[in-house]
Structure 1
Amino acid sequence: MEQVMPDASGERAPGAGNENLEHWQQQGKWFSYGGYAIFSRMAGQGDPLVLLHGFPTASWDWNRLWPMLAQHHQVLTLDMLGFGFSDKPPLYDYSIEDQADLFEGWITGLGLKSVSLFAHDYGSSVAQELLAREQEGLLPFHIQQVCFLNGALFPEVHNPLLIQKLLHSPLGGLISLGLTRRTFERSFTRLFSPGRPPEKNDLDDFWYLLTYNNGRGILHRLIHFMEERRCHRNRWVGALQNATQPLRLISGVADPVSGAAMARRYRELITEPDVVSLRNVGHYPHFESAGEVYRAWREFWKQHH
């Protein structure tokens, strides 16, 4: 199934609003994972919906969508280890599998028996790993349905930015430590649609979260996920192809990294693919056009309930 959402520039869904970053942090709670502090947020009531953020940002990415989703769901999210307000140990062996362990333990610890997943970018790989575990009978809870936003679901069509390639190179450690605000802004803004660039205060928030607690010093360790995606390609693509629960891809087609080409590959490899294409939207659909994303999610949810 292919849908193209009309360009809804300026439209806002009910409950839309921007939450102050300081308030976002104040409303959070921390828990321990392997002795490290993990930042989490929960709100709303209803069927549990877990939000998984991308690289190199944090759960804050979801703040514009958060109040909309919380009208109908118990919404849960966290900053993965090495991201946002969570701890960022400098010598840690970061991996998608470890982040999946983090989510699995957290969801299980909350006593949830069934959850839906809404995943973006790096978080999409974590969701694929969780799907694979459920198919192997290893998850102590059931995944009801999964909605993906722009991410490298298929590494063969992923087109990383130059800064990502450099961070993944032997010079990655130096590049990470030497990353400047100007370089970050130039690279990060390229991910957005030209018609929806992040404003200065948005860039302030993203940079703050990135550099919080010496975050710059570990970017080259976090970006190991690009190699993991290649190594686990068959497992994680197989998890999509073998999924029995409903899946939907919401694709910002103006994304230069994992936009139109990723959506085409999804349609090629997934049986009866459910794809919603967002015109004039880049890599961060939930930030650039939260109203469109909310409507696409809500439609998907209603179809299967």
Structure 2
Amino acid sequence: MPLAEIPLRAWRKHAREFVFRGRAIRYWVAGQGEPLLLIHGFPTASWDWHYLWQPLAQRNLVIACDMLGFGDSAKPLDHAYCLLEQADLQQALLEHLRVTQPVHVLAHDYGDSVAQELLARHYEGRFEMASCVFLNGGLFPETHRTALVQKLLLSPLGWMIGRAFGRNALADNFSLIFGPDTRPSESALDDFWSLISCNEGPRILHKLIAYIPQRRRLRERWVSAMQRGEVPLRVIDGEIDPISGAHMVERYQQLVPHADTVLLANIGHYPQIEAPVQVLKHYLAFREQVSHSIARVAYS
């Protein structure tokens, strides 16, 4: 049975706002229970989670924000965007909401890198992570296959590419990374573009793309954290994603002990949009495992 869509206009009506380092950040909160932080990818926003939002809120305090430079949040032009700062932002949001419990994390794409940093901070005693699930993303720079538009944005002419990037270019790029049978509708593409173009977003795409070289610099820190094995981890991955599909999962299985991975057949880079029912099923099964593991420890 399909999950209910939350139209973007309705999603936006439920936004809240707080100030992070002088910049306005839009965020959403729903439900109650253990805190679950949802971290979106590039170049989209927290609306990516809208199919999963209500089902997850039935048993969690679900929290998500449009990160700095994304969606309906501030997009300053004169800013050096950094994954470490985005991790700071997630922690600031949790502090703003007075969340003190260990936090479950569900992340995608760019958000995977933010989650990796939070995992590293967990082992440093700077963040309390209860579990983490990664959807398609560049967990390992050596397996991330950069899309052409990303290569162009990283070039010296990136500022021009970003400003020329439009709704049709978004549609062309999404057609390459979504599964052939699960591509977004024209209306969904309009909504994605509304979030990207909001607050003159195309003018900073070349700045946001700096996350790719940042991932390379931070690789050892993040991979070491994933290899520790104390925080439960799972990967749920769209198999045919050309950027970070089955080839990324293979690398994960090589590097992470006791790797817990799920491959979704015929699904591309956005599994939470392409196959939300499957993602929800595998995510809830993972959380059930985590709960049983905690219970076993408590009564042993």
TM-score by length of 2: 0.95
Q: Name the counterpart of 2:297.
A: none
Contact 2:167 2:189 in 1 (8 A): no
The 5-angstrom pairing of residues 67-78 of structure 1 reads 67-78=54-65
SS at match of 1:251: strand
Aligned residue among 181, 189, 196 for 1:210 = 196
| 1:123 paired to 2:91 | no
Q: Name the counterpart of 1:137.
A: 125
Distance 1:180 1:293 in 2: 30
| 1:180 paired to 2:174 | no
| 1:24 paired to 2:11 | yes
Aligned residue among 126, 135, 138 for 1:152 = 138
Give ranges in structure 2 of 5+ residues lacking alignment. 292-300
Identical aligned pairs, as a percentage?
46
Q: Name the counterpart of 2:71.
A: 84
Q: Name the counterpart of 1:292.
A: 278
| 1:37 paired to 2:33 | no
Give ranges in structure 1 of 5+ residues lacking alignment. 1-10
Question: Which portions of structure 1, spanning 4 or more consecutive aligned residues, are displaced by more than 4 angstroms?
Answer: none
Contact 2:38 2:106 in 1 (8 A): yes
Q: Deviations over 1:191-227 (max 9, x none)?
A: 1000111100010000110000100000000000000
| 1:252 paired to 2:238 | yes
Structure with the higher fraction of residues in helix conformation: 2
| 1:101 paired to 2:72 | no
Q: Deviations over 1:228-258 (max 9, x none)?
A: 0111110111111124110000010010100
Contact 2:167 2:190 in 1 (8 A): no
Contact 1:52 1:124 in 2 (8 A): yes
The 5-angstrom pairing of residues 180-199 of structure 1 reads 180-199=166-185
Letter in 1 for 2:144: H
Aligned residue among 125, 133, 153 for 1:167 = 153
The 5-angstrom pairing of residues 225-304 of structure 1 reads 225-304=211-290
What is the alpha-carbon root mean square deviation over aligned residues? 0.9
Contact 1:253 1:279 in 2 (8 A): yes
Which structure would you say has the larger RCO, counting Cα contacts within 8 Å and 6 or more residues apart? Answer: 1
Distance 1:260 1:20 in 2: 31
Distance 1:281 1:68 in 2: 21
